[in-house]
Amino acid sequence: MTGQSLHKQRNLKLDFFRGLALLIIFINHIPANELLLYTPSRFGLSDAAEVFVFLSGYAAAIAYGRSFRTSGLWLGSVRVFYRCGQIYGAHLALFMLLAAVCVLGNAVFEEPDYIHRLNIRYFFDDTQEALLGLISLRYVPNYFDILPMYLVVMLWIPVVWTLSRIHIALAFAFPIGVYLAMWRYGLELSADLHSDRPWFFNPFGWQLIFFTGFAFGSGWIKPPGHKIWLAAICVAFVILSLPLSPEPALRPTEFLIQLHAGLLPWLDKTHLGPLRWVYFMALAYLVTTFLRNREHWLNSKAVRPIIEMGQQSLPIFIVTMALSYVGGMLLDQFGHEVAALTAVNLGGCALLLLTARTMAWLKSSPWKVQSGRSSLSAAWHDDGASDSLFPVFAVRPSRLKQTPVMVLVAFVAAVPLSLSQRNSDAHYSMVAMRGAGGILVQDRVHGHVNEAVGTQENFK
């Protein structure tokens, strides 16, 4: 199957909106980023997190549903658990990456203390206990809580799929029942070893929107067709909910302020308040209605980089979170003027798009020899090399084309040498040359001198 045919089989709309959600997540997670004030999360009841989780559920239904149908429950579950292992590894890798970024930030810049700002000082002060909490998911700082939530929700996919084989109603009953039980019994997971702080993204609540997407992706729920009255209701709900959004300027009267305060539990992000779910579904209907019969734009080159981001959402998410924090560091050092804000936000988005393009290129295995394409080694024997008296030193056009690659390879090879340190007190395995009177061997390792003098007979 060619890459082009595989690309056509993918749901490009799904990939595009996942990529778009990652770009918004990048902007929203830059510390003290003024551009956050202009993202959709400030003017609605839901944000990019709902988009990402819903689409992840939709994609999971397509990928793992096919495995369940073709390979059975056991092997389908194995594939799900394998993905859970990847998510778990990505969570640990993200934490270590951000911890290293904080250490480097503190080493390069005098202030502020980036370890303290990310609230991971506990990890450095009590590393052994914190590390045990980290690997057991009992220590989950706020910046790192979406992947653990995603991991827990993924573990329930085989359960929901098994229930759907009995009856679809049971597959719906499970996520709804868990969601209601969370509100009734206060189900939460602890995120701190020394306090009662819960996970910011409660998986018992957020699984509802994940399995909503899963139900649509599995075909258990058919998207409603284009209906004027339904679109009007959704538009009215989106507009009327503006005063309930996080932006305080949209609540100019005392009545709206009190209304917002009274509905806070229904708007809560940690537990996925019911109004957030309803708002997201209304907005999703309006977007899909608007894009109906307009999917041709997804094949344009302009949106291809964003689609590639969505196709590699997990590694791009890790890069996104790291770049967000680095972007905050740059704003600390260069200020929050328009030029700095533009450079950090647009530069970060460009780096994410470039990273996705690079990953897609690597995924295509470009090093494999294609038919009709000559290899690099063959380029060293063409262009009339036999006509030169010294063909090895002959300058050929094909060699000149490889100059940038050769420079890059030489640079990479020189990195370990540049990092090496010479210790004047240590000489490793110094063997004196053999002479008529014998050989003198001096080995000095870590400052300890061992001298051995032998005659030539010792080497026979």
Query: For residue range 51-84, what is the model confidence (pLDDT) as tens digits?
Result: 999 999 999 999 999 999 999 999 999 999 999 9
Note whether residue 207 is domain-resident. Answer: yes
Q: Is the domain of 242 the same as that of 320?
A: yes
Q: Is the domain of 454 the same as that of 311?
A: no
Note whether residue 209 is domain-resident. Answer: yes
Q: What is the DSSP string of 160-222?
A: HHHHHHH-HHHHHHHHHHHHHHHHHHT---B--TTS-PBPSS-HHHHHHHHHHHHHHHHTSSP
Note whether residue 106 is domain-resident. Answer: yes
Q: Residue 455 has what pLDDT?
A: 43
Q: Residue 293 has what pLDDT?
A: 80
Per the CB < 8 A criterion, the answer to whether 58 and 217 are in contact is: yes
State which of 337, 363, 389 marks the end of a domain: 363
Q: Which tokens sit at 101?
A: 């970024």
Q: Residue 190 has what pLDDT?
A: 94
Distances from the Cα of 381 to the Cαs of 327, 347, 384, 386, 394, in angstroms?
Answer: 48, 42, 8, 8, 10
Distances from the Cα of 271 to the Cαs of 157, 186, 320, 390, 398, in angstroms?
Answer: 20, 10, 24, 75, 61
Q: Residue 299 has what pLDDT?
A: 84
Note whether residue 406 is domain-resident. Answer: no
Note whether residue 401 is domain-resident. Answer: no
Q: Residue 460 has what pLDDT?
A: 44
Note whether residue 368 is domain-resident. Answer: no
What H or E segment, with its residue span, contains residue 428?
A: strand 427-431
Q: Which residue has the tokens 């609230």?
A: 119
Q: Is the domain of 455 the same as that of 354?
A: no
Q: Residue 137 has what pLDDT?
A: 95
φ, ψ of residue 379 to 5 degrees: the values are -70, -20
Question: What is the Cα–Cα distance from 87 to 71, expressed in whole angstroms?
Answer: 22
Question: What is the Cα–Cα distance from 279 to 239, expressed in whole angstroms?
Answer: 10
Q: Residue 328 has what pLDDT?
A: 95
Q: Is the domain of 359 the same as that of 438?
A: no
State which of 317, 346, 363 marks the end of a domain: 363
Q: Is the domain of 167 the same as that of 287?
A: yes
φ, ψ of residue 445 to 5 degrees: the values are -120, 120
Q: Which long-range contacts (CB under 8 A, 24 or more apart) does 28-31 make?
A: 29/143, 29/320, 29/321, 29/324, 29/325, 30/324, 30/325, 30/327, 30/328, 30/331, 30/344, 30/345, 30/348, 31/117, 31/324, 31/325, 31/328, 31/331
Q: Is the domain of 314 the same as that of 202?
A: yes
Q: What is the pLDDT of residues 379-427, one digit of tens each?
A: 445 554 445 555 545 555 655 666 776 776 777 777 676 666 555 444 4
Q: Is the domain of 71 the same as that of 197?
A: yes
Q: Is the domain of 358 the same as that of 431?
A: no
Q: Residue 444 has what pLDDT?
A: 43
Q: Residue 5 has what pLDDT?
A: 43
Query: How many distinct structural domains can be found in the chain?
Result: 2
Q: Residue 391 has what pLDDT?
A: 54
Go through 349-379 and write b for each residue having 16 or more CB atoms within 10 A of its CB, e for each that does not: bebbbebbeebbeeeeeeeeeeeeeeeeeee
- Average pLDDT of every residue of the chain: 85
Q: Is the domain of 350 the same as that of 434?
A: no
Question: What is the Cα–Cα distance from 31 to 406, expressed in whole angstroms?
Answer: 40
Q: Bridge-partner residues for 435, per DSSP?
A: 438
Domain that holds residue 235: 7-363
Go through 274-302 and write b for each residue having 16 or more CB atoms within 10 A of its CB, e for each that does not: bbbbbbbbbbbbbeebeeeeeeeebeeee
Q: Is the domain of 99 the same as that of 241?
A: yes
Q: Is the domain of 106 the same as that of 219?
A: yes
Note whether residue 152 is domain-resident. Answer: yes
Q: Residue 355 has what pLDDT?
A: 95
The residues of the chain scoring below 70 in pLDDT are 1-9, 369-402, 405, 408, 415, 417-460
Note whether residue 387 is domain-resident. Answer: no
State which of 330, 363, 396 marks the end of a domain: 363
Q: Bridge-partner residues for 450, per DSSP?
A: 443
Q: Residue 40 has what pLDDT?
A: 85
Q: Which residue has the tokens 């957030």?
A: 276
Q: Is the domain of 194 the same as that of 77?
A: yes
